[in-house]
Amino acid sequence: MHDSVHVRFAPSPTGYLHVGGLRTALYNYLFARKHNGKFVLRIEDTDRARYVEGATEKLIEALHWAGIDYDEGPYFQSQRLEIYKQHVEKLLHEGKAYRCFCTSERLEQMRNEMETKKVDVKYDRTCLKLSEKEIQETIDKKIPHVVRMKIPENRTIKFHDIVRGDVEFQSKIIDDQVLLKSDGFPTYHLAVVVDDYLMNITHVIRGEEWLSSVPKHLLLYEYFGWQVPQMAHLPLLLNPDKSKLSKRQGDVAVEDYRDKGYLKEALVNFVALLGWNPGTEQEYFSLQELIEQFSLERVHKSGAVFNVDKLNSLNFQHLRKKTDEEVLHMLKEELLKSKFADKNFSEEYLLQVLTAMRERMTFVKDVIENASYFFESPTQYEENSVKKNWKEETPSQMKLLTEEFSKLVHPKKEDYETALHKTAQQLQIGNGKLIHGTRLAISGVSAGPGLYDILFILGRDESVNRMRMAIETIR
Ligand code: GLU
Q: What is the DSSP string of 137-200?
A: HHHHTT---EEEE---SS-EEEEEETTTEEEEEEGGG----EEE-TTSPBPHHHHHHHHHHHTT
Least Cα distance to 467 among 433, 446, 443, 431 occurs for: 443
The span from the CA of 249 to the CA of 241, in Å, is 10
How many Å lie between the centroid of ligand 1 and the Cα of residue 110? Answer: 29
Please give the single-letter amino acid code of residue 149.
M
| Distances, alpha carbon 160 to alpha carbons 165, 166, 295, 425, in Å | 5, 4, 17, 78
Find, among 206, 212, 217, the residue nearest to 28 by Cα: 206
Note the pLDDT of residue 133. 96
CA 261 to ligand 1 center in whole angstroms:
28
What contacts 319, CB < 8 A, 6 or more positions away? Answer: 263, 266, 327, 361, 362, 363, 364
Is any ligand 1 atom within 6 A of the Cβ of residue 210?
A: yes
CA distance 374 to 150: 71
Instruction: Please give the single-letter amino acid code of residue 91.
Output: L
Active site includes 260?
no
Cβ of 206 below 6 Å from ligand 1: yes
Point out the catalytic residue in the list 90, 172, 244, 247.
247
Q: In which order are the strands placed within the sheet that holds 230-234?
A: 165-170, 156-161, 230-234, 203-207
Q: CB-side exposure of 465: number of CA atoms within 13 Å?
A: 8
User: What is the Cα–Cα distance from 465 to 278, expressed in whole angstroms?
Assistant: 55
For residue 34, give the H/E element and its range: helix 19-34
Ligand 1 proximity of 12 Cβ (cutoff 6 Å): yes
Cα–Cα distance measured from residue 99 to residue 87, given in angstroms and rounded to the nearest whole number: 14
Q: How far is the CA of 94 from the centre of ligand 1 (A)?
A: 28
**CA nearest neighbour of 9 among 69, 54, 88, 79:** 69
Residue closest to 453 by CA, chosen among 376, 363, 367, 353: 353
The whole-angstrom separation of Cα 90 and Cα 352 is 71
Q: What's the gap in Å between 24 CA and the centre of ligand 1?
A: 10
- Determine whether the shortest distance from the Cβ of 191 to ligand 1 is under 6 A: no
Cα of 255 vs its chain's centroid, Å: 7
pLDDT in the model for residue 2: 53
Q: What is the largest CA-CA distance in the chain?
A: 112
Q: Confirm or reject: Cβ of 41 under 6 Å from ligand 1.
A: no
What is the pTM (predicted TM-score) of this model?
Answer: 0.92
Of 46, 31, 39, nearest in space to 63 by CA:
39
pLDDT of residue 393: 96
The DSSP H or E segment spanning 38 is: strand 38-43
Identity (one letter) of the amino acid at 335?
L
- Round to the nearest angstrom and report the end-to-end CA distance of the chain: 83
For the chain, residues with pLDDT lower than 50 are 1
Residue 346: count other Cβ atoms within 10 Å of its Cβ: 8
Residue 334 in contact with ligand 1 by CB distance below 6 A: no
- Return d(Cα 403, Cα 166) in angstroms, integer: 80
CA of 231 from ligand 1 middle (Å) equals 13
Which of 7, 9, 44, 237 best tests ligand 1's pocket when mutated (most atoms within 8 Å of CB)? 44
Among protein residues, the one with the nearest Cα to ligand 1's atom 3 is 11
What is the C-alpha to C-alpha distance for residues 399 and 402, in angstroms, rounded to an integer?
5
**Residue 14 Cβ contacting ligand 1 at under 6 Å:** no
**Cα separation, 155 vs 420, whole angstroms:** 86
Say if CB 296 and CB 229 are below 8 A apart: no
